[in-house]
Amino acid sequence: MSGEDWPESALGTHSTGSRILILGAGYAGLRCAQVVSKYLADPGAPEVVLVDRNGYHQIITQLPETVSGRLATDEVAVPLAELLKRTPVRFRQAEVREIDLDGKRVATSEGILTYTTLVVALGSVTAYYGVQGLKDHALTLKSVEDAEEITRRVQQAVADAAETPDPARRARLLSFLIGGAGLTGVELAGELAEVLPTMARAQDIPPTEPRVTLIEAAPAVLPSMPERLQGRAAAILAELGVRLVLGSKVTAADQEGIDLASGDRLVGNTLVWTGGIMAPPLLGQSGLPTALNGHVPVNEYLQAEGFPDVYVVGDSASLPVLEGESAMPPTAQIAVKQAEAAAYNIVAGWEGWPRRPYKPADKGQLVSLGSERGVASVFHIPLVGKKVIALKALIAESYRYAATGRINLGRGRRG
């Protein structure tokens, strides 16, 4: 769709004629909108508009627990109207379709939105790396809808297995494959390993018959975590009954299983791919510079290279890696900190203050392995066991409190 054909948005024009437009209401986009609107709240300040295709903010780190039923969907999908009701942020539910950098306009499913300053916080999409059949046959876990579909497919597979007289088909139905042993894949494996025996018993299937297999191209699970914790996580997963297939890439997928670079074949009618992410193709198509996997290179102030009026934060951004340092993992805490840094620099630009360089800092990572145990590295201190589950729950409640101004203690939880 050419710029001349874009319909005007019904949002209208702000009295000052200035607009900070934020694309995406994930961890980075929501936080940026809240912080910017707090410090640019006087009548002469620019308008702050937040755009997302959904009317809710998703707490993505808790999606695996939604698959197993430990958390209800209303625990991880919080209405944006509730989150923004005490702010002057104007929310527009629409899908972003095109960005016109020269005209400073964004085409959405609801019309054009112009901007003075643009914040790109569109997160990431699943990367399939050209693996034959993978996109067509694999489920993903990037949204509440994805979590609900995985749950439905798993429940249906167990129910169908109870009815089939064919042993080979029964084995395929009760084999659940997860590609990618990063944070999401490991947590999903733990959740499924815990809930599948209960599902099996409900269908008069022996609880040990369903099998979860976790496949990873790297030689260990959780490649971004310290080696000692990788080993502990692998041991806990094995105790839960998860089969680990490490050091071999997926080369093809079909409706009955996957092929590996090792020459082996794993059968299973349900495949979930958590093995990689990339930036939305829309960013490169708009003319923004892109790096590996489509991420947009940004400077120390989180501005897109060559576009000082465009900030890119969260999974969409590619930050320079200093010598002797490693790249920051795509986690919620990193996205939030980037959003706060970008928000400050946006306000500084409007107020005439000096901008501040963003300084990456990773406080660590926590991974739940089912409902009872987990592994974590917090400020380089290793933690293993139930304390990790308690800490993860505390962090989740703290985030929810910061985002909504309330604490949700158990609402919507399932047994």
Q: Do residues 162 and 263 both lie within one domain? A: yes
Q: Do residues 190 and 256 both lie within one domain? A: yes
Q: Do residues 271 and 294 both lie within one domain? A: no
Q: Do residues 240 and 302 both lie within one domain? A: no
Q: Do residues 262 and 231 both lie within one domain? A: yes
Please give the tally of structural domains in the chain.
2
Q: Do residues 267 and 140 both lie within one domain? A: yes
* Torsional class of 129: left (φ above 0), alpha (ψ -120 to 50), beta (otherwise): left
Q: Do residues 172 and 119 both lie within one domain? A: no
Cα separation of 83 and 405, whole Å?
8
Residue 242's CB is within 10 A of a number of other CB atoms, namely 24
Query: What percent of the chain shows pLDDT beyond 70?
Result: 91
pLDDT digit string, tens, across residues 133-167:
999 999 999 999 999 999 999 999 999 999 999 99
pLDDT digit string, tens, across residues 68-104:
999 999 889 999 999 999 899 999 999 999 999 999 9
Computed over every residue of the chain, the mean pLDDT equals 91
Last residue of a domain, one of 243, 275, 307: 275
Cα separation of 59 and 27, whole Å?
8
> Would you place residue 327 in the very low, low, confident or very high pLDDT band (cuts 50, 70, 90)?
low
Query: What percent of the chain shows pLDDT beyond 90?
Result: 81
Domain for residue 368, yes or no?
Answer: no
Q: Are 328 and 23 in contact (CB under 8 A)?
A: no
Supply the residues annotated as catalytic.
187
- Backbone φ and ψ for 291, nearest 5 degrees, come out as -120, -155
> Can you give the CATH number for the domain in which 179 is found?
3.50.50.60
Mean pLDDT of 219-225: 95
CA 313, chain centre distance (Å): 13
Cα separation of 51 and 318, whole Å?
22
pLDDT of residue 360: 86
Domain for residue 242, yes or no?
Answer: yes
> Is pLDDT at 295 greater than 50 in this prediction?
yes
pLDDT digit string, tens, across residues 181-197:
999 999 999 999 999 99
> Is pLDDT at 109 greater than 90 in this prediction?
yes
Cα separation of 286 and 304, whole Å?
12
> Is pLDDT at 206 greater than 70 in this prediction?
yes
pLDDT of residue 43: 76
> Is pLDDT at 414 greater than 90 in this prediction?
no
Q: Do residues 26 and 91 both lie within one domain? A: yes
Sign of the torsion formed by the C-alpha atoms of 169, 170, 173 and 177: negative
Mean pLDDT of 300-320: 94
Q: Do residues 84 and 10 both lie within one domain? A: yes
Last residue of a domain, one of 275, 307, 330: 275
Judging by beta carbons within 10 Å of its beta carbon (0-12, 13-18, 19+), is residue 150 exposed, middle or buried?
Answer: buried
Q: Are 352 and 332 in contact (CB under 8 A)?
A: no
Q: Do residues 147 and 116 both lie within one domain? A: no
> Can you give the CATH number for the domain in which 319 is found?
3.50.50.100
> Is pLDDT at 31 greater than 60 in this prediction?
yes
Domain for residue 194, yes or no?
Answer: yes
Q: Do residues 117 and 206 both lie within one domain? A: no
Note down the domain range covering 144: 134-275
pLDDT digit string, tens, across residues 365-382:
999 999 999 999 998 899
The Cα-based distances of 108 to 1, 2, 262, 294, 404 in angstroms read 11, 13, 45, 21, 27
